[in-house]
Structure 1
Amino acid sequence: MELGIGMFGDLGVDQTTGKYRDAGVKIREIIEQVKRMDEVGIDVFAMGEHHRPDYAVSSPEIVLAAAASVTKNIKLASGVTVLSSSEPVKVYEDFSTLDLISDGRAEIFVGRGSFIESFPLYGYSLNDYEQLFDEKLELLLKINSEENVTWSGQLRAPMSNQTVYPRAKNDGKLSIWRAVGGTPQSVLSAAQLGMPLVVAIIGGMPVQFKNLVEFYKQEYQKAGHDVSKMQIAIHSHTFVSEDQKVTDGYFHNYKSQMDRIGASRGWAPYTKMQYDGGRAKDGALFIGSPAEVADKIAYMKEIFGITRFIGHMDVGDPVHDIMMKSIELFGEKVKPTLKNL
Structure 2
Amino acid sequence: MEIGLSTFVETTPDVHTGKVMSHAQRIREVVEEIVLADQVGLDIFGVGEHHREDYAASAPAVILAAAASQTSRIRLTSAVTVLSSADPVRVFQDFATLDAISNGRAEIMAGRGSFIESFPLFGYDLKDYDELFDEKLELLLEIQKSEKVTWRGGHRPAINNRGVYPRPVQDPLPIWIGSGGNAESVIRAGVLGLPLVLAIIGGRPIQFEPLVRLYKQAATQAGHDPSKLTVASHSHGFVAETTDLAADKFFPSTQQAMNKLGRERGWGHYDRDSFDFARSMEGALYVGDTDFVAEKIIYLRKHVGITRFMLHTPVGTMPHDDVMKSIELLGKEVAPKVRDEIARWEQEGNS
**TM-score (ref. length: structure 1):** 0.97
Work out the CA distance in 2 between the residues paired with 1:54 and 1:336.
Answer: 34
Residue deviations 1:141-195 (CA, integer Å, cap 9, x gap)? 0000011111111111111111100000124x21000000011111111100000
Match of 2:102, as an amino acid? Answer: S
Deviation, 1:17, is 7.7
Question: Counterparts of 2:76 and 2:182 in 1: how far apart (Å)?
Answer: 26
Count of aligned pairs between the two proteins: 340
The CA deviation at 1:333 is: 0.5
Cα contact 1:20–1:53 (8 A) shared by 2 = no
Instruction: State the SS of the aligned residue for 1:282.
Output: coil
Indicate conservation of the 8 Å contact 2:246/2:287, yes or no: no
* More displaced 10-residue stretch of structure 1: 319-328 or 303-312: 303-312
Equivalent residue runs for 1:260-279 within 5 Å: 260-279=260-279
Letter aligned with residue 242 of structure 1: E
Q: TM-score, normalised by structure 2?
A: 0.95
Counterparts of 1:1-341 in structure 2, within 5 Å, are 1-14=1-14, 18=18, 20-171=20-171, 173-243=172-242, 244-340=244-340, 341=342
Give the aligned residue type for 1:128.
Answer: D
Structure 1 residue runs of 4 or more that deviate by more than 2 Å after TM superposition: 14-20, 243-247
Paired with 2:78 and 2:206, the residues of 1 have a C-alpha distance of 26
Conservation of the 8 A alpha-carbon contact between 2:15 and 2:256: no
Secondary structure of the residue aligned to 2:203 is coil
Deviation (angstroms), 1:18: 4.5
CA contact (8 A) 1:20 1:54 kept: no
After superposition, give the CA deviation of every residue in 1:189-211 in whole Å (9 maximum; x if it has no partner).
Answer: 11000000000010111111111
Q: Which runs of 5+ in 2 are unaligned?
A: 343-351
Q: 1:16 to 1:186 in 2, by over 3 A?
A: closer
Q: Work out whether residues 47 and 80 of structure 2, in 8 Å CA contact, stay in contact via their aligned partners in 1.
A: yes
Rounded Cα–Cα distance in structure 1 between residues aligned with 2:53 and 2:20: 7
Cα distance in 1 for partners of 2:239, 2:27 equals 21
The percent of aligned pairs where both chains have the same amino acid is: 51
Unaligned runs of 5+ in 1: none
Q: Secondary structure at the match of 1:301?
A: helix
